[in-house]
Structure 1
Amino acid sequence: MALNKTLLLFFVLFSCSCIPVQGPRNSARSQEASEATPSKSASVPLAPIAPTASMPGPIVAAPAITPTPATLSSPITKTYTKSYLPSKTSITNPERGLYSQTTLSDTTPGKIKTLAGTGLTLMRLLVNLPRVTTLPSSLFNSLENAFLASRQYGIKSILRFRYSVSSSDGDAPLWMIEGHIEDLAPLMQKYADVISTFEAGFIGAWGEWHSSTNDLSNTQDRAAVLHSMLTNFPQDSFIQIRTPMYKKDVLNYLANFPDSETFPRRIGHYNDCFLASDSDYGTYASPVSSWKDFIAKEGATLPVGGETCRVYAPRTNCQTALFEMAMLGWDQLHQDYNLDVINIFKAQGCWNEIKDRLGYQFQLGSMKLVTTALAGDKMELSLSVNSRGFATTFKKRPLLVVLYNETRSYKFSTSIDTRTWFPGKLTSQSTTITIPKEVIPGIYRLGIMLPDPSEELASNSRFSIRFSNEGTWDGNSGINILFDGIEIFEK
């Protein structure tokens, strides 16, 4: 019996000596926090957060449970590579795509709201001017109301001023046109943010620079009107001209004028009889191929658009439309005219492709970055972007990298210029940001913003560029979300 008790006591003592001793829970969690692999944001519940001073408006939150700074004290460098899925739906973006046409007299805030509700970001606004010395105040009031509604609902205008509304209607003398341009200039400056482009109107039938009843259908008078628009309207605005021959002639005439070197890159093109004949009803002189080449050399980075006007069997088909829109860099197309032509596009199956590819359409390919950093450190971001549109952006706009979570946001400017993302190309870009020394340690999201360049619209997400990808867009803030789980540590 004594021997049994001795054996039992020995067994108990031996068993106790084999039980592992646990350390403090907090140190174990700290180790887990520093060694964990970044997880995808889809697995973490998100919640809306309040606006901050540096990030106006509501934005989608970082993970609802954020580690405290105490758990983020031992960074381990982690490099992460991610590929992005293309969007399954059509993406709308500012200053590109289909447009609807309206006259100023028929344009109300309600109509602009309706157009925006259909997914349009453009409208062609035709302003019929009276042949009077002094324009009425009612015209300025109507224009201002249209521009204010455009800001509210996310629409920009392709703006054409004209006196003639038919082939037999009269235009105005040159002195009156130049006076009206000067009178309109202050309002054009004030609302430049919602004017996508001007069309070089004023002269002739429909404002298309032909059939003038005041003998203005000549290079000298056309150049005078264009020069008045270039110098009185916003200096960073674009003016679309009816034929490439007009552009060449007026630029030659204006070659010795002050600032003439800036004029070519501000003058784009529009064609209001696309595919209507071998010359598109006089849009191109002979040889037609040379004048198409004239536009093709600059069309990707200048505004190009217009409408169809009739069916012409040899050219009115999907194959020709897609080929020429890609070659000439089309940005805009009138969706309501000519319906016979548009119905052919729909029947032959290219209408949706035309809608998707007009202008720029940027698709994220892949991203690589280091997902851990100390406050004050530099962080490099590498991206590949596929340009799927017929063109690229013709206006320069900022590209910002945004680091944000539930309580803080930081924006970083870059030198990346989307105008170099040429159609049909896969572009690789890298940028380096410096994490602020005063950053609050924690978990952050990383995103990209391409806001409107104007101060008035910069915080309006309706005017921000969206990448054509699945699961990256935050429509409230205008941020394209690249990664959720950046760890910032105290230095």
Structure 2
Amino acid sequence: MTRDIVCYCVGFSLISIFSSVAVAGQVCDSSFLPRNASYTNKFYNEGTNVWLNPGRGFYHKLITSSNTTEFEAIQESILDCWRTQDGTTLLLRLYLLDDSVSGAQLTSDFLDRIRHDMATVHKAGWNVIVRFMYNTGQHSISNSKTSEPTVDIIAAHIEQLAVIFQGFEGVITSIQAGFLGRSGCWYEPSAAGGSFPPKTTYTQLLDALFKSVPTSLPIQVPKPEYKQEYLGPMSTSYLDVITNSDKLRVGFFRDCLPGSDINHQINAFPRLDPTSISNMSYLSIDTKFNIMGGRTCHPGDIRSGPDLCTDSVKLFQKIHMTYLDIEDPAETLKYYKQQNCYNNIRQRLGYQLFLHTVNLPTEAEAGGYMCFHVSLVNKGFATPARDVHVFLVLQLNSTVMYQVDLHVKGESVKLWQPGHVEIPLVTKSFQLVHDMPAGLYKVHLALSDPKWQNDSNYYILLGGEYRGKPTADPSTGLNFIGEVQIRPSSAHSSSTPASSATLPPGSMRPWSALATTRHLREWKEGYVTCDEVEVTKALLQYTYFNSSLALPCPDTNPHSSEAILQRFCHAQPASRWSPVTGVKVIDHCDEIAKFTPVAFFKSLLGVSVYDRGLNDGMAGVFFGCVKKNGILKSIKVGIQLCGFPFDVTLIHPGDVDLQSLYIVNTL
């Protein structure tokens, strides 16, 4: 069932943290470079790619019940659909504990269902925020009770859930404290004005969560006062980052929950005005280091000009917003789109990291030392919610690759603050292994989730272009930063750099390439890619496919060309298709992803429409271009022409006018 839930900086601290990252202006030692070698300095432009990165952005929500007859599992197909429709990869999963209000243990069947849910989220390459509750106040759900079990029973339930929290750490982005009050929002509305849980109750609940939730997973509470009562009144500081204080374990979530007066939203952001939020000075500092997300609950009032956009961006910057409900409410998002700030907000929620500068040597010797420098810029609202594992990948070919662990301290991610002109990530020297083959190595920067280094969906793609080309590879999760020619080992290789910023021995080791992801990791407004798995299966069958949305061929056979895009690319009837403006296939052969929907269009009264007059319609799935000596020879398309089964075909320039072949806007 899918239902809406209404609901000081210390002087020495930076020195300690920056011991693991670069100090601005630090220069690599050139004394150990091979003869005639030098350093290349790259400065990156921002670029326009919109990467789908883990643990941030707009989110969808799904609620289900622990009652066996009402439990609805997360469907991978739904997550895939949302990813392609609106570029979301974050889910709020709400679990209503119907069967346990009386004090019964969570059943093994229910725990297995949660595990299956989390595995589905992982398989889809998504992240999830979880919240548990004992009542919603909605009689349409089987449990209409307005109370929860005793806090001792709640603690026992949390202990049962610990194995799930630990097993899916990293797929789970954060855990909303939940359990108490209506919808787990720690508030119970009433005619008398409503009530909040007593301190003894929520303290015991937080004790239980601290015991069962891994330290890397943030726990979010509905109001800053709860954290202040539990961990002290002072906001999180850089000293807390150095000492890895418990304050780094608690962030905040906000939900829409009507009070006794339906117009009064408890825990909401009234009119999106930062001055109207209690404890704003505390919240604005604390969220620099701790995750904030939820809903604004804004009523969507109409104001002249871009005030709603201006207010929202100001607020999200101030409270460092990481995630926001994509139905928050529909009226608010409609205004964001009308005032042209929706895309800006979508890209800036959470972190938005760009490469700023890279310094690499042109050459190095096997067994010798290599120094490099990398800096970033964060144009988002917040830092990443979890630690990030940072390493280099040196790649000679598809089989010879090495990983270099950069030993960047986990807490340094809290220094990747928005607003800085440059964030020095790392300046280090490391010793290359003696037996590495000579050759030209590609150098990639990798930023992975510490728990999912074997899954490229949980790698951060960096914004930034160098000479017009994006650095990120969405299929592998790696960020290309340059090339280094490795010479064979020589006597010079044994010299040790003078710099103290040298990685410990053994930091470099062989690395195996990750499997390329099947999931879309770049969002392009207006078109989506086709389902790679289903298209591949269909091609292997060498047969015909139809769709109820497709017009038949002239001989009334239902297997027309447009049916392929409707079956496998989420396409609407072809009468609604339009070409993605300016994206002719022949002009962008090397940039278009495989499995992109393409079709031939013609101009009708100045409007581009799908050309059914060309061989009774030609639409299909793009697989690449065939060139010889830089000259286009043919375009490879999976297509089903009238009278012929679905198959991969080479379309040559002499066959048809390729100037009319475009990427299809199927939405």
Q: TM-score range by the shorter chain?
A: 0.7 to 0.9
Structure 1, unaligned runs of 5 or more: 1-73, 254-259
Structure 2, unaligned runs of 5 or more: 1-33, 65-70, 139-143, 234-242, 491-667
Task: Give the deviation of 1:476 after TM superposition.
Answer: 3.2
Task: Give the deviation of 1:290 after TM superposition.
Answer: 6.0
1:439 aligns to what?
A: 436
- Is the partner of 1:245 in helix, strand or coil? helix
**2:381 aligned with 1:421, yes or no?**
no
Q: 1:261 to 1:490 in 2, by over 3 A?
A: closer
Equivalent pairs counted in the alignment come to: 409
Q: Which of 364, 377, 383 does residue 386 from structure 1 map onto?
A: 377
Which letter does structure 2 place at the counterpart of 1:301?
F
Which has the larger displacement, 116-125 or 91-100?
Answer: 116-125
**2:400 aligned with 1:408, yes or no?**
yes
Q: Which of 186, 190, 193 does residue 167 from structure 2 map onto?
A: 190
1:47 aligns to what?
A: none
Which letter does structure 2 place at the counterpart of 1:171?
S
Q: Return the alpha-carbon distance in structure 1 between the equivalents of residues 109 and 77 of structure 2.
A: 19
CA contact (8 A) 1:243 1:284 kept: no
Which has the larger displacement, 336-345 or 427-436?
Answer: 427-436
Q: What are the within-5 Å matches in structure 2 for residues 60-99 of structure 1?
A: 76-99=36-59
Task: Give the deviation of 1:409 after TM superposition.
Answer: 0.9
1:176 aligns to what?
A: 153
Q: Return the alpha-carbon distance in structure 2 between the equivalents of residues 209 and 187 of structure 1.
A: 23
CA contact (8 A) 2:361 2:484 kept: no
1:152 aligns to what?
A: 123
- Is the partner of 1:82 in helix, strand or coil? strand
Task: Give the deviation of 1:115 after TM superposition.
Answer: 3.3
Which letter does structure 1 place at the counterpart of 2:154?
I
Which letter does structure 1 place at the counterpart of 2:366?
A
Q: Return the alpha-carbon distance in structure 2 between the equivalents of residues 313 and 293 of structure 1.
A: 26
Task: Give the deviation of 1:138 after TM superposition.
Answer: 2.9
- Is the partner of 2:321 in helix, strand or coil? coil
Q: 1:282 to 1:127 in 2, by over 3 A?
A: closer
- Is the partner of 1:323 in helix, strand or coil? helix
Deviation digits for residues 208-247 of structure 1 (CA, Å, limit 9, x no counterpart): 0011899871111011111111111223221111111122
Q: Return the alpha-carbon distance in structure 2 between the equivalents of residues 399 and 182 of structure 1.
A: 32
CA RMSD of aligned residues (A): 2.9
Task: Give the deviation of 1:428 after TM superposition.
Answer: 2.7
Task: Give the deviation of 1:137 after TM superposition.
Answer: 2.9
**2:368 aligned with 1:377, yes or no?**
yes
Task: Give the deviation of 1:382 after TM superposition.
Answer: 1.6
1:487 aligns to what?
A: 486
Q: Which has the higher helix share?
A: 1
CA contact (8 A) 2:177 2:219 kept: yes
- Is the partner of 1:468 in helix, strand or coil? coil
Q: Which of 281, 290, 312 does residue 321 from structure 1 map onto?
A: 312
Task: Give the deviation of 1:359 after TM superposition.
Answer: 0.7
CA contact (8 A) 1:162 1:171 kept: no
1:452 aligns to what?
A: 449
Q: Return the alpha-carbon distance in structure 2 between the equivalents of residues 385 and 224 of structure 1.
A: 41
Q: Return the alpha-carbon distance in structure 2 between the equivalents of residues 163 and 486 of structure 1.
A: 61
Task: Give the deviation of 1:113 after TM superposition.
Answer: 3.3
CA contact (8 A) 1:100 1:122 kept: yes
**2:252 aligned with 1:269, yes or no?**
yes
Q: Return the alpha-carbon distance in structure 2 between the equivalents of residues 399 and 423 of structure 1.
A: 19
Which letter does structure 1 place at the counterpart of 2:88?
L
Task: Give the deviation of 1:411 after TM superposition.
Answer: 0.9
Deviation digits for residues 339-382 of structure 1 (CA, Å, limit 9, x no counterpart): 11111111111110000001111111221221101112211112
Q: 1:280 to 1:345 in 2, by over 3 A?
A: farther
Q: Which of 205, 209, 212 does residue 229 from structure 1 map onto?
A: 209
Q: 1:234 to 1:108 in 2, by over 3 A?
A: same
TM-score by length of 2: 0.57
TM-score by length of 1: 0.77
Task: Give the deviation of 1:460 after TM superposition.
Answer: 0.8
Q: Return the alpha-carbon distance in structure 1 between the equivalents of residues 460 and 131 of structure 2.
A: 25
CA contact (8 A) 2:91 2:128 kept: yes
Quote the sequence identity (%).
24
Q: 1:234 to 1:370 in 2, by over 3 A?
A: same
Which has the larger displacement, 309-318 or 224-233?
Answer: 309-318
Q: 1:283 to 1:244 in 2, by over 3 A?
A: farther
Q: Which of 296, 303, 323 does residue 291 from structure 2 map onto?
A: 303
Which letter does structure 2 place at the counterpart of 1:484?
E
**2:122 aligned with 1:139, yes or no?**
no
- Is the partner of 2:448 in helix, strand or coil? coil
2:61 aligns to what?
A: 101
Deviation digits for residues 38-80 of structure 1 (CA, Å, limit 9, x no counterpart): xxxxxxxxxxxxxxxxxxxxxxxxxxxxxxxxxxxx8521221
Deviation digits for residues 69-120 of structure 1 (CA, Å, limit 9, x no counterpart): xxxxx85212212222323132211011111011243422332333344432
Q: Return the alpha-carbon distance in structure 2 between the equivalents of residues 380 and 229 of structure 1.
A: 43
CA contact (8 A) 1:266 1:302 kept: yes
1:347 aligns to what?
A: 338
Q: Which of 202, 222, 229 does residue 242 from structure 1 map onto?
A: 222
Q: Return the alpha-carbon distance in structure 1 between the equivalents of residues 267 and 454 of structure 2.
A: 43
Q: 1:280 to 1:319 in 2, by over 3 A?
A: farther
2:602 aligns to what?
A: none
- Is the partner of 1:305 in helix, strand or coil? strand
Task: Give the deviation of 1:313 after TM superposition.
Answer: 4.2
Q: 1:403 to 1:98 in 2, by over 3 A?
A: same
Q: 1:233 to 1:79 in 2, by over 3 A?
A: closer
- Is the partner of 2:418 in helix, strand or coil? coil
Task: Give the deviation of 1:164 after TM superposition.
Answer: 1.4
CA contact (8 A) 2:255 2:294 kept: yes
Deviation digits for residues 278-320 of structure 1 (CA, Å, limit 9, x no counterpart): 9964558998566111111121221111113242649971111
2:91 aligns to what?
A: 123
Compare relative contact order (CA 8 Å, sep 6+) and give the higher one, 1 or 2: 1
- Is the partner of 1:193 in helix, strand or coil? coil
- Is the partner of 1:192 in helix, strand or coil? coil
2:574 aligns to what?
A: none
**2:280 aligned with 1:292, yes or no?**
yes
Q: 1:353 to 1:278 in 2, by over 3 A?
A: farther
